[in-house]
Structure 1
Amino acid sequence: METLLADRPEHVVHWGERRPPVAADDPGNTWGFDMALPDAELNLGEYYNLSQPYGTLTPEERFSINNHIVQTIRMLEQLPWPAHLKRVPQIAGNHHERMDGNGYPRRLKGAELSIPERIMAVADVFEALTAADRPYKKAKPLSEALRIMARMARDGHLDPALYRLFLDQAVYEAYARRYLKPEQVDAVDVEALHAVLKSGYNGKG
């Protein structure tokens, strides 16, 4: 017998041998990861899942999503890159880092990120916001995506200088003409977007 809603011991899936080496003090962590690891791999408890205070994901589910970049780095660093591509693992693996050091998987700050890595972060966010093939969200119109990115640059997520360049060089327009649906391409107030940046993050990592 089981009540309609319950948290039971068998709902908790323990890590066992699958425990990933992502904690900063894990001796098996040779990649410099610095991520909080949930106590369990998964928790299927009904009360537990329904009582999450923020969003719809549990910490275990959020870690499972974020773990994709850990696997990306581990996989890419095993490949025999030629000299001119040797930084591919870092560029691909650091696009979820933030200028203020609150990103993942290594909590790197802006000063520790190369220009290509910062560019990748801007490109990744813009593509994610405007993509029409994501089953969990609707594609944002151009103006809304750029407003969200302006706040992210102001608040220490993205590089403000690169975001300004992204705006001033109209990179978003070239991308929109080629990849966005016509109904997504609306008017963009560049001056208003610049104004969002003025009283925020100073861009120093």
Structure 2
Amino acid sequence: EHIVPWGARKPPVEVGNPANLWSFDMVLPPQQAHLGELHNLSIQRGTLTAEDRFKINDHIVQTIVMLSGLPFPPHLARVPSIAGSHHEKLDGTGYPRRLKASELTLADRVMTLADIFEALTASDRPYKPPKTLSESLKIMGNMVRERHIDAEVFRFFLRSGVWREYAEKFLPAAQRDAVDVEAILESLSQ
């Protein structure tokens, strides 16, 4: 059969599912996979199916579920939530819980920014070449304007120079190009 049903592995990610203990708010595809040739031929080149996209996004669900099962001491009790919020966006269009700005803590916002910066500069991603510092920070500035990441956290990140310290330690020289921090900061006000 070319349709792979969810069966017992159906993740509890939909609102209203009693097994959804984590307040996930994701659209679950009707099946785990659709392997039919006609279905595959109908997919535009480079386009992910709903099942493919869910599989990619499911890593964050598994992160939260796994970390929630660990006996964290009280001062680390928010670790599952913080680790699981790095794909949330201020405008509420992120995942897995579609949290809005008012529902995101400072720690959530910092984790999101760190994850994005690392992803943009990473050289170990087979699907994309690494970005330079200037490209990465420009993209992140655009993400601030689109309300995907927090403006104040990004301003602090730029002014602190921690991005430069990270680059000196972990990025090859070819990625460490000149960055006009003042121009990026000014662009955030426009």
TM over 0.5: yes
Whether the aligned pair in 2 keeps the contact of 1:95 and 1:124 (CA below 8 Å) is: yes
- Report whether the alignment pairs 1:74 with 2:74: no
Q: Distance in 1 between matches of 2:36 and 2:48?
A: 13
The secondary structure found in structure 2 opposite 1:27 is: coil
Q: TM-score, normalised by structure 1?
A: 0.87
- What CA deviation, in whole Å up to 9, does each residue of 1:110-162 have, x standing for no partner? 11111111100000000011011112211111111111111111101111111
- Report whether the alignment pairs 1:153 with 2:144: yes
2:158 equivalent among 163, 167, 185: 167
Q: Distance in 2 between matches of 1:109 and 1:54?
A: 33
Q: TM-score, normalised by structure 2?
A: 0.94
- Report whether the alignment pairs 1:95 with 2:86: yes
For residues 3-22 of structure 1, the aligned pairs below 5 Å read 10-22=1-13
- What CA deviation, in whole Å up to 9, does each residue of 1:154-194 have, x standing for no partner? 10111111111111111211111111011000011223322
| Consecutive unaligned residues in structure 1, runs of 5 or more | 1-9, 200-205
The secondary structure found in structure 2 opposite 1:153 is: helix
Aligned to 2:172: 181
- Partner AA of 1:62 in structure 2: R
Deviation, structure 1 residue 56 = 2.9
Aligned to 1:30: 21
- What CA deviation, in whole Å up to 9, does each residue of 1:65-99 have, x standing for no partner? 10111111111111111122111111111111111
Whether the aligned pair in 2 keeps the contact of 1:21 and 1:29 (CA below 8 Å) is: yes
Structure 1 residues 89 and 135: alpha-carbon distance in aligned structure 2, compared to 1, 3 A threshold: same
For residues 118-157 of structure 1, the aligned pairs below 5 Å read 118-157=109-148
Runs of 4+ in structure 1 over 4 Å off: none
Structure 1 residues 189 and 53: alpha-carbon distance in aligned structure 2, compared to 1, 3 A threshold: farther
CA RMSD of aligned residues (A): 1.5
The secondary structure found in structure 1 opposite 2:13 is: coil
Deviation, structure 1 residue 44 = 2.0
The secondary structure found in structure 2 opposite 1:117 is: helix
**Number of equivalences:** 190
